[in-house]
Amino acid sequence: MSLRALRDELVEPRIPFARIPIVDGAPEAVARVLASGWVTSGPEVEEFERELAARVQAPFAIAVSSCTSAIELALRSLDLPPGAKVLCPTMTFAGVVHAITHAGLTPVLVDSDPHTLMPSADTVASAATKGADAMIVLHFAGNPAPVRELAAAAALPLTRIVEDAAHALGTRTGDRHVGADSAAACFSFYATKNLPIGEGGMVTTSDHALADFVRQGRLHGMSRDAWKRYAPGTPWRYDIVQPGLKANMTDIQAAIGRAQLRSLQRLLLPLAGVRERIRPAQVTRHGQHHPQRLFRHRDGVGPGSVHHRDAFVRRSLEINVVHAYARSSNDAQLLRMLQQLRVGLHRRPHDQRIRRLQMFIQLAIELICCKHGPARFLQLRHS
Ligand SMILES: Cc1ncc(COP(=O)(O)O)c(C=O)c1O
C-alpha cells in the first residue's frame, strides 16, 4: 500500500476511530474555566465528582487523569504485599496490565468466555487455583459482568475486587448502576468511551478510606491539593503522605465532563453510522458465535441490564486490530491486514512484553470485510 493510501485509510477509515460528540454547552464551559483564572484541579473537578457519584449512586467519586491511573491507584489502595497476584482478563487493554505491574503486583491472566468476551466463573476459578489476592473485573463493552459471582469463583471478598468500568458508564444490572459494588470501579473518559472528554478517568467507591487514598495518590501523595491550600483563610501547608502519582484531572476536562454528563443518555444512543456499516451475518459454521447471541446472553445477566450494542461492535473491531498486530510478524503484514479490515489502528501494543501478552490471548476475533464496505461476518474462534 502506498503511504498516501495508508494515510487515507487511517484518516478516513470505513470504521472511524471514534465519533466524538461534543454537546452544546461544553465549549462555553471550557471558555468559562479559561476565563476564571483556575485551570488545574479545582471547583469544576469537585462538581464533576459530585455529579458523577450521584449518577452511578456511589458515595464517593475521585477524578483522575485516566482509567489506567484509576486502576493503579485503586490497586495500590488495597495495600497488598509486593508481587501479590491480581487476576485480570486476557481480553483487555494493555494499560490494565501496566497498572497492575506499576502497582508492584503480578498479573494473572484469566481466559475469556467466547459468548460474553469476558471471564466466566469457570475460567476465574481455574485461574485462581494457585491463589489470587485481588481481581480486576471487566465490564466489556458496556456488558455488566456478574461481579459477585466472579468474586465468589475467585474466593475473594468484594473488597479485593476492582472493576474495570472503562466501557461501562451508564451500564446497569437491574436498578443497580456499575460503580459501587466492589472496592472501586474505574471509568474512562478517553475518546472512544461513553463519555469522551479528551482524556480522564474516575474512581467510584463506597469506601471512605479508599477515596482518601486515591484523592491523595492522584497528586503526588499530597495531603491537600492547591485548590484547598489557597482557598481564602486556609493554611497553605501540606504533607506528603504516600509516594503518589501525578494523575489529577484539570478543571478544563471536568467542565467538558459536566456538560457531556448532562447529555449522557444521548451520547449512548446507537451510533447509527457504525451500526449500518456492520451487519454481522448469522455465522454458525465451525462453532463461531453470532454477536446477537452475545447480546441475548448479556440480557440474561440480570433483569433490565443496560448495555451498549454499538460499543460492543466498536470494541470488537479494536480488539481485532490489536490481535492483527499481535499475530503479524512485521509492519507490512499489519498494514495489509488493516487494509483488508478497513479500520484505523489506534492501539498498538508498544513493546515486546505486551506483544507477548497479547499472544497469550486465547480468543481471537476475525472480522472479514466485504470488498465494498460493510463488514459481513464477525467470527470468534479459539486460537
Ligand atoms: C477495557 C479498558 N480498560 C482500561 C482502559 C484504559 O483507559 P484509559 O485510556 O482512560 O486509561 C481502556 C482504554 O482503552 C479499556 O478499553
Residue 298 has pLDDT above 70, yes or no: no
Q: How far apart are CA 336 and CA 6, in angstroms?
A: 10
* Residue the block writes with cell 501540606: 238
371 is known as an active-site residue: no
Residue 379's pLDDT band, with cuts at 50, 70 and 90, is very low
Q: Is 134 in the pocket of ligand 1 (CB under 6 A)?
A: no
Q: Is 164 in the pocket of ligand 1 (CB under 6 A)?
A: yes
Which domains, and CATH codes, for the chain? 3-11+271-382 (no CATH), 26-266 (3.40.640.10)
Residue 343 has pLDDT above 70, yes or no: no
Q: Is 194 in the pocket of ligand 1 (CB under 6 A)?
A: no
Q: Is 68 in the pocket of ligand 1 (CB under 6 A)?
A: yes
Note the pLDDT of residue 114. Answer: 62
For the whole model, what pTM was predicted?
0.75
Q: Which of 108, 110, 165, 156 is nearest to 134 (CA)?
A: 156
Tell me the β-bridge partners of 382: 363
Q: How far is the CA of 146 from the centre of ligand 1 (A)?
A: 20
Q: Which of 192, 184, 151 is nearest to 308 (CA)?
A: 192
pLDDT tens per residue across span 207-220: 999 999 999 999 99
The contacts of residue 93 (CB under 8 Å, 6+ apart) are 166, 347
pLDDT tens per residue across span 50-63: 999 999 999 999 99
Q: Pick the catalytic residue: 193, 228, 246, 371?
A: 193
Q: What is the mean pLDDT of residues 323-332?
A: 48
Q: How far is the CA of 66 from the centre of ligand 1 (A)?
A: 8
Residue 45 has pLDDT above 50, yes or no: yes
Q: What is the mean pLDDT of residues 12-36?
A: 81
**pLDDT averaged over the chain?**
74
Q: How far apart are CA 37 and CA 275, in angstroms?
A: 43
Mutate to test the pocket of ligand 1, among 71, 75, 86, 96 (most ligand atoms within 8 A of CB): 96
Least confident of 101-105, 136-140, 206-210, 364-368: 364-368
Q: Is 67 in the pocket of ligand 1 (CB under 6 A)?
A: yes
Does residue 359 or residue 95 have the better pLDDT? 95
Q: How far is the CA of 93 from the centre of ligand 1 (A)?
A: 6
Note the pLDDT of residue 5. Answer: 63
Q: How far is the CA of 36 from the centre of ligand 1 (A)?
A: 31
Note the pLDDT of residue 185. Answer: 98
Buried b (16+ CB within 10 A) or exposed e, 88-109: bbbbbbbbbbbbbebbebebbb
Q: What is the mean pLDDT of residues 284-292?
A: 34
Note the pLDDT of residue 239. Answer: 87
Q: What is the mean pLDDT of residues 157-167?
A: 96
Q: What is the mean pLDDT of residues 185-201?
A: 92
Note the pLDDT of residue 237. Answer: 81
Q: How far is the CA of 4 from the centre of ligand 1 (A)?
A: 30
The contacts of residue 291 (CB under 8 Å, 6+ apart) are 280, 312, 313, 316, 378
Q: How far apart are CA 218 and CA 65, in angstroms?
A: 8
Q: Is 197 in the pocket of ligand 1 (CB under 6 A)?
A: no
Does residue 338 or residue 192 have the better pLDDT? 192
Note the pLDDT of residue 295. Answer: 35
Note the pLDDT of residue 332. Answer: 58
- Alpha-carbon distances of 197 from 31, 260, 300, 333, 374, rounded to whole Å: 15, 8, 32, 34, 29
